[in-house]
Amino acid sequence: MDGWSSPVYDHTQAVGLEGDTRKIKDWLFEAKDGLPAIGIVGMGGLAKTKIAQKVFNEREIENHFDRRIWIFVSQTFNEELIMISILRNLGDANVGDDYRELLRKINQYLLGKRCPNSELEVIGKEIVEKCKGLPLAIKTVGGMMLYKPPHLREWQKTTERFREELAEIDDFVMVSLQISYDELPPYLKS
């Protein structure tokens, strides 16, 4: 590696970063669908790493996010090494080197461990209600929703689809199985 950085922030070594850190925190807190990509760019010596460390270590950030991961990325980076570093930060020491497997594991960790968005929670409860307490229907739809991105729009589409199917077929188990099947990737349907 060309260099190294740490999430450790020494507040005695930086002055005047409050405005920049407030702006970045506001962007993070205002994000509606997932997280925005925020680039901190500029010439050497402008305290880019210090700003990132300060934001990373803020109590507000720590309380707001279920997971925080600090990864060092050099100018000449390797995506697989970055993903391995992410997984190790998530506590998974048993990582392979297959790109797809690494990406799948990261998605599984991040989607499975996220804090529920209150709007998604409302939609989830609506879906469970529509299942009328039937365990197979709840398990089928829940399994499908686990792999959906945590975006309000995606969950609303699924709920709307559920409503439409229930209007045609009054069998909750069959509707949940049909929607789950329809969501499968094409190679699994044949």
Provide the H-helix boundaries in 8-64: 18-30, 48-57, 59-64
Q: How far is CA 96 from CA 90, 93, 108, 173, in A?
A: 14, 9, 15, 38
pLDDT tens per residue across span 144-185: 777 676 677 777 888 888 778 777 777 767 777 787 788 777
Mean pLDDT value of segment 108-128: 71
Domain parsing of the chain, residue ranges: 1-65, 74-115, 118-189
pLDDT for res 46: 82
Which tens digits make up the pLDDT trace of 4-56?
566 665 665 667 788 888 999 988 888 776 666 788 888 888 888 888 888 88
pLDDT digit string (tens) for 51-96?
888 888 888 888 887 778 888 777 787 888 888 888 888 777 666 6
In terms of C-beta density within 10 A (0-12 exposed, 13-18 middle, 19 or more buried), how is residue 66 classed? exposed
